[in-house]
Amino acid sequence: MSTARLTRVSGALAEAEPLPQCALYELARVGQRGLLAEVIRLRGPTATLQIYEETAGLVLGEPVAPTGAALTVGLGPGLLGSILDGVGRPLGRLAEQSGDFLAPGVTAETLDPESRWAFTPALAAGARVSPGDVLGSVEERPGIRHSILVPPGISGELARLDAGTFSLADPVATLTDGRTLGLVQRWPVRRPRPVARRLPDDRPFVTGQRVFDLLFPAAEGGSIVVPGGFGTGKTVIEQSLAKYGDADIVVYVGCGERGNEMAEVLHEFPRLTDPATGRSLMDRTVMVVNTSNMPVAAREASIYLGITIAEYYRDMGYRVALLADSLSRWAEALREISARLAEMPGEEGYPTYLATRLGQFFERAGRVTALGSPSRTGAVTVVAAVSPPGGDFSEPVTQAALRISGALWALDPALAHQRQFPAVDWSMSYSLYARRLETWFESQAHSDWGELRRETLALLQRGQELRDIAGLVGPEALQGTDRLLLETARVIQEFVLGQSAYDSNDAHSPVAKTALLAGLALQLQRHAQALLASGVAFEQLDLGPVRRALALVRSAPVAAVEARAAEAAFCIAGLSRAAAT
């Protein structure tokens, strides 16, 4: 067979022929430097490839060699704490090879082949194994056991299973038919990993952020979209979710963000302390980094790499949070590749299959029973930031994401400028999981959780309407009951929904504390409303002590919350005495 040669190069896209036996999504090495590429279109003997590296310097006629495999990632111990590029190469070891600026064609395995791990078997020779069974485990990080699983598609009887210290290339098990199993398995990133059964979304992904847990809760294994313009706090929210969210493992995908922003994330994440262990948050985090100056093809692949790693830890029985920032940059990569392929454009130039690709990505979230024995339940919860140009939520990426996600946490630049954190627009945000999660919250936090949520939302909505009216006629023109409601809405915004990311006692709010604060705000509304109905004027209500008491509840450590809440309730009851005075 003749050697395939480059016949066309356009940015990250190239064409080569003859490649008649090549498969769709097969990897290839392009040019004398061996640039990594993926086949994305076949037309007769001509293959179109998207190249994952900088194509400057490529010359027509250079050789193209297919590898016979799709884009895969090595899954095994050593992933936690790693920082990978969009196609799974470890940036630290690449920097050791070629310096801070990556050389074209440089390659490195995702996992360090020189690392060694102490393996403890869970089975013995003679046991029959099937896909997903746990062969044994290694301690990947302090307190985190990494289960070594039988890869999908493999079954048989164990002829040998050894204990000891092994490298990633060493076999730890041998089947009676001669096949060997090691600590690492490879998986194509574009193919979802199989599961035994999908489970209902009736358990929450508790975030520790009151506005999310109370008003717009997310399900464990759900999909959440967080659209917001520049400066609305998307990155800070994702860091808070990584630190305080109810997840065992965090996979952070920086997809097409500016280099200075990613440098800040890479600087901040290792410095974040895991409140559960006191160690660095990186001990349970995998980072996939693809900045805006990197090739767009690798940006497009980065979210698939991230969710494949998340599925792998899910299969061990872990709860995984996948934080993607941002889908807009990923969609822009799709648009650029589509334009170079001369495909029919859709709205604003995005490809017509944008919603389909987004749907395929979000479908990989979920809470599942994993394959194999012993029985394990794991979950992948996807929280995806979207950066609509100019904060316009009507643009195609935001709208496509809204149609297939379970919750929307819309960020408002006006609230962000008021120093409200999280800057969530409660009039636009929603959660399709709220009804199904009420039972859990009512059993774990407050018996009337659903009613708390509905009353709080109703007060906020009415407060927004009154703010618009007060902006026209002035608050003094409103009736006392309306002025009270306006004040209660401010109290809810400031003390219930607002949090400080820099106050360790307030950055994370347990659901019981969230319920106490919401209950106090509603108690204030009801008690003051009764006073107004008895003839007390609004000006006679001294709300200052109540606001100070609520501020103390908000900033109180967990052990002191109930005592502070009792003091706040006493201040609310004292409104009648203050009014009489």
Q: What is the pLDDT of residues 365-382, one digit of tens each?
A: 999 999 999 999 999 999
Residue given tokens 């995806």 in the structure block: 384
Which positions ≥6 away from 89 have C-beta within 8 Å? 106, 107, 108, 110
**Residue type present at position 496:** V
Residue 209 confidence (pLDDT):
95
Count of the separate structural domains present in the chain: 4
Sign of dihedral through CA atoms 109, 114, 116, 121?
positive
Q: Quick one: 535 and 389 in the same domain?
A: no
Q: Quick one: 272 and 133 in the same domain?
A: no
pLDDT tens string 17-48: 988 788 888 999 999 999 999 999 998 889 99
What are the E-state strand segments in 142-219? 144-149, 156-161, 164-167, 171-175, 180-182, 185-188, 197-198
Residue 263 confidence (pLDDT):
81
pTM value is 0.94
> In angstroms, what CA-CA distances link 43 with 9, 14, 120, 250, 440?
16, 13, 50, 40, 54
Q: Which domain holds residue 135?
A: 112-182
CATH of residue 146's domain is 2.40.50.100
In a domain? residue 188: no
CATH of residue 255's domain is 3.40.50.300
**Torsion angle (degrees, nearest 10) of CA 556, 560, 563, 564:** -10
Residue 12 confidence (pLDDT):
86
CATH of residue 19's domain is 2.40.30.20
CA 104 to mean position of chain CA atoms: 30
Determine the 3-state secondary structure of 488 from DSSP. helix
Pull the structure tokens for residue 424.
Answer: 């969530």
Average pLDDT of adjacent 10-residue blocks, the chain of 581 residues: 84 88 89 91 90 89 91 95 91 83 82 94 95 96 94 95 94 95 95 96 95 96 93 87 94 85 80 85 92 82 95 97 92 90 90 94 96 96 92 92 94 89 92 95 91 95 90 85 93 93 88 95 94 90 92 93 94 78 62
Q: Quick one: 474 and 419 in the same domain?
A: no
Q: Quick one: 135 and 68 in the same domain?
A: no
In a domain? residue 54: yes
Residue 579 confidence (pLDDT):
63
CB of 550 closer than 8 Å to CB of 517:
yes
pLDDT tens string 89-98: 998 888 888 7
Q: Quick one: 490 and 547 in the same domain?
A: yes
Q: CA–CA separation, 546 vs 561, rounded Å? A: 15
Residue 578 confidence (pLDDT):
65
Q: CA–CA separation, 189 vs 546, rounded Å? A: 54
